Chains A and B, each alone.
Chain A
C-alpha cells in the first residue's frame, strides 16, 4: 500500500466520520441552516404546481454510465426523481423521466414504480423512457418528448455534454422552466448560458438536502463544507510555501 492509497483511504474514512458526526449534530439541532439556492426554491414551486394545477414535470437523468464516476450524478438524479415521484405521482399528470443510458432507464422505472406502490397508484412503464443512446439522439428524443407531453418544468440532473443545449432550447420553445446541473465542466458552461436556473459545481449534489430526501443528505452537505474549507486551507498553505521557495 503506497502513501497515495493511504491518503485516499484516510480521506474517505474522514469523510465518512464527518458525515456520521454531522448526523448526530443535526439530531440535536432543530433548525436546518442551508443557504438559499434559487433553483431549488423554483423547483419546489414547480412541484407544488404539478400537484395543484396538474402540470407535468420532466426529469432528465442524462447519459452517465453506472460503472464510472458519472454514476454519482445519476444516483443524485434518481434520489430527486424518487422524492418528486412520491410528491406528485397522485396528480393527474405524474412526472416523466428520460435517460440516455440503459441502466439509468431501468432504475428510473424502478424508482417510479416504488413511489407508485408506496402511494397505492397505478404505474405506467412509459414514465421512464430511454430516448436515445448516443448524445445527440438522446437530445433529439428528449426534445420531441418535451413538446409532445406539454411539460411545465424540466429538471436536468445527470451527466450531460454540449448536447444539453438542444434539450434546453426545446424547453424554452415550449415555454417551460428549466433547471439543470451536471458533473461535466463543458455541460455546466452550456447550462449556465441556456438553462433558466443553472446549478454550478456541488450545488447539483445538494438537491437531495434541499428537497428533503433524508437527514443524511444534509449531513453530507455539512461534511462537504468542512472538507472544502480544509482543502482551501491546504491549497493556500501550499501556495504560500511555493511562494517562499520551501517546496
Chain B
C-alpha cells in the first residue's frame, strides 16, 4: 500500500500546475510559479545526489577486486580533482575551463567519433537482421541524405539534390509529425494517469 500523503501531494501539485497553465488567475499563476521553482531546486539537489550515487558506485568498485577497477579509480580521482579546482577557483576560472576544454570536450568528442562508426556498422547490421522493405527504405534515405549533405568531389548527379529536398520536406516531415502526434498523445496519457493516481512512481513503501 502506497502512502496516501505522497499521492495527495502529487495529485494536488499536478492539478494546480495544470490548471494554472490554462487559467490565468493571479493567485493560481503565482502558486504555479512557486511550485515550479521548488521543483527546480529539488532537481538541482537531485543532481547532487546523482553525483554522490555515481561516486558511491565507483568507490565500491575501486575498493573491491574487480577487473575494471582502474576505471573507477580514474573516475573518483578525476571527480576529486575537478571538485577541488572548480570549488577553490570557481567554475569560470581558467584552471576549471582548462579541465573542461582539454579533458572533457576531447573525451566526449572521441565518443562522438566512435558513434559515427557505430552507426555505419549498425546500418549494415540492420540489413542483415531485418532485410525488409522498411529497412531498405531507411538505409537508402540515409545514403541519399548523406551523399547530398557533403561535397561529392564536384560531381553533380542530376535530380539528387531535388530528391534530397523532397525527402526533407515531404516524407521526413510527415513521418516525424505522425510520430510526434503519437508521442504527444502518450505524454498526455502518462500525465493524466499520474494526476488520477493510477501511476505512482514515488513513495515506494
Contacts and interface: CB of A to CB of B under 8 A. Distances in A.
A224 B187 contact: no
A87 interface: no
Interface of A: 1, 5-6, 8-9, 11-12, 15-16, 19, 65-67, 69, 72-73, 75-76, 78-79, 82, 101-103, 105-107, 110-115, 117, 126, 128-134, 136-137, 139-141, 144, 148, 162-163, 165-166, 168-169, 172, 183, 185, 188, 190, 192-194, 196, 200-206, 208, 213-214, 216-217, 220-221, 223-224, 227-228, 231
B77 to A, nearest CB: 15
A101 B181 CA distance: 26
B181 A102 contact: no
A203 B39 CA distance: 29
A110 B189 contact: no
Given A193-B123, A216-B193, A223-B189, A185 B47 contact: no
B143 interface: no
Contacts of A216: 193, 196, 198-199
B57 A72 contact: no
A150 to B, nearest CB: 12
For the side of the interface on B, what is the size category?
Answer: 35 or more
Contacts, number: 208
Contacts of B204: 110-115, 117
B122 A165 contact: yes
Interface stretch (B89-97, B108-116, B153-161, B163-171): B108-116
A221 B2 CA distance: 25
The 5 A-B pairs with the shortest beta carbon distances in the complex, nearest first, are A114-B204, A205-B186, A102-B50, A102-B46, A201-B182
A102 B111 contact: no
